[in-house]
Amino acid sequence: MEEVKKEEELRKGDQNLMGNSGLLFDIPLMDLLAGQDFTPSLFELLSAAPPTTTLPPPSSAVPESSEVLNTPPTPNSSVSCSSNEKAFDADDGDLREKSPFNKQLKAKKKNQKRIREPRFAFMTKSEVDHLDDGYRWRKYGQKAVKNSPYPRSYYRCTTAGCGVKKRVERSSDDPSVVVTTYEGQHIHQSPIMPRGALTAAAAFASPQPPLVFPQPQYTYTPAPPVDVRFDAAFHSFGEERRRIEGSFQDHGLLQDMIVPSSALHIPEEE
């Protein structure tokens, strides 16, 4: 199993596509749906989106690595996203407490294959590494990344009981691109509720999240569901969302978000 490598490779592919303003979705929707929740997070937004692209039919053997890429049309910030998960287990650990039990937990995990939470990687063209997405994060580590001159930072949601983590790293291919990988689901709403997020939050407060997302006030015609999914996702991400939205309004570069359907499918190697 080289899921990590595969993931990295895929990510690189994403980055390459990024360079061409690629938009890519290749999510194991079943997994996403399994992880559905009612908090205004990207995960629900994405999971609630209808299957659109030429996704390979989710079989029993769901690809471990599926990447989604999204490149919004912004001069100063662009975003792509990816998901990667095999199984959804919100209780998997990452709420680990800082106690002597940690080691026991680790020992426990030895027996069962480590189950990771759903992950979504966003590629954001930004000068700042840590983007304000409306949640409060605490940095708990930083590591140098192989094949990249830039370090990777690890953040955890500071809200009690919320074990959502995110990794932030700068693309080695394009230093202006920040890759933010979210892992897990927020069990709460954004403590910093931005204007736009309010809308999104309201939309998702209902037991059944609507499949139709609050439409952005962009000047373009949102069209492929993929794109709807994309910008809907941003509606849940505070400052960054606003930044992006502003850019959309200013430039309306929808074409940058759209890629040929052929590019929407990442060939799985298995």
Partner DNA sequence: CGCGTTTGACCGGCGC
Partner DNA sequence: GCGCCGGTCAAACGCG
Span from 2-10, 15-23, 210-218, 230-238 in contact with DNA (CB under 7 A): 2-10
The answer to the question of residue 122 lying near DNA (CB under 7 A) is no
Among 25, 122, 154, 248, binds DNA (CB under 7 A): 154
Among 50, 106, 128, 255, binds DNA (CB under 7 A): 106
**The CA-based dihedral angle spanning residues 236, 262, 73, 154, taken in that order and rounded to the nearest 10 degrees:** 50
| Side-chain half-sphere CA neighbours of 35 within 13 A | 33
Among 109, 215, 249, 269, binds DNA (CB under 7 A): 109
Span from 26-34, 109-117, 207-215, 229-237 in contact with DNA (CB under 7 A): 109-117
What's the closest the beta carbon of residue 165 comes to DNA, in angstroms?
5
The answer to the question of residue 188 lying near DNA (CB under 7 A) is no
What's the closest the beta carbon of residue 103 comes to DNA, in angstroms?
6
The answer to the question of residue 88 lying near DNA (CB under 7 A) is no
What's the closest the beta carbon of residue 246 comes to DNA, in angstroms?
24
The answer to the question of residue 160 lying near DNA (CB under 7 A) is no
The answer to the question of residue 269 lying near DNA (CB under 7 A) is no
Cβ proximity to DNA, 152 vs 235, nearer residue: 152
Among 19, 20, 128, 139, binds DNA (CB under 7 A): 139
The answer to the question of residue 152 lying near DNA (CB under 7 A) is yes
Among 57, 61, 91, 103, binds DNA (CB under 7 A): 103
What's the closest the beta carbon of residue 152 comes to DNA, in angstroms?
6
